[in-house]
Amino acid sequence: RLRSAASYQYDVYAAATHPVLSGKAYDRIEQSPLKTMLVTDTLPLTRESPKVEVATVAPIFAEAIKRTFKYQSISSLFDVDKG
């Protein structure tokens, strides 16, 4: 049984790289204490939800493809420590 969001001391967040949201997934997310679920657009979503936020990965994929074609480094795209 799910507890109400008001009974939690902290905000609850989730993330998914490839959101396979099938069956009752949307209903469960919307009834859950989750504040937000961040997903990427690597798979098409079957519907919208106020709790599901979509982040696009198209620009970074396009840059990776371009760099591969030009024989340039891809790893630097993911080096978050060097800003």
pTM here?
0.75
**Residue partners of 52: CB distance under 8 A and separation at least 6:** 19, 21, 26, 29, 36, 37, 39, 45
* E strand or H helix that includes residue 29: helix 25-31
Mean pLDDT of 27-53: 96
pLDDT tier for residue 9 given thresholds of 50, 70 and 90: confident
Mean pLDDT of 57-69: 95
For residue 24, which amino acid is it? K
